[in-house]
Amino acid sequence: MPAHRRKGSLPATVKAVLWGFLGVRRNADYQQDIARLNPIHLLVAGVVMALLFVLGLILIVHWVAG
């Protein structure tokens, strides 16, 4: 199945992105993610979660420094 036609659930996509942020993932799970998740969804979820992480850090710094 072409990559752009794959359908993956939102929880599975978020889980894959979180494991990617941590940098620990079993190879078997990684291969499963590649086979069933849409790469565009992974990219969008990764960017959104990275922005949320940075915003969270900024808010924490403003709260501690203020």
Every domain of the chain and the residues it spans: 3-65
Give 3-state DSSP helix, strand, coil % of the chain, rounded to 5: 80, 0, 20
For 21-57, write each residue's pLDDT tens digit.
998 888 898 898 888 899 999 999 999 999 999 999 9
For 9-22, write each residue's pLDDT tens digit.
889 999 999 999 99
Distance between CA atoms of 53 and 63, rounded to whole angstroms? 15
Q: Which two tokens stand for residue 55?
A: 């915003």
Sign of CA dihedral 34, 38, 39, 45: negative
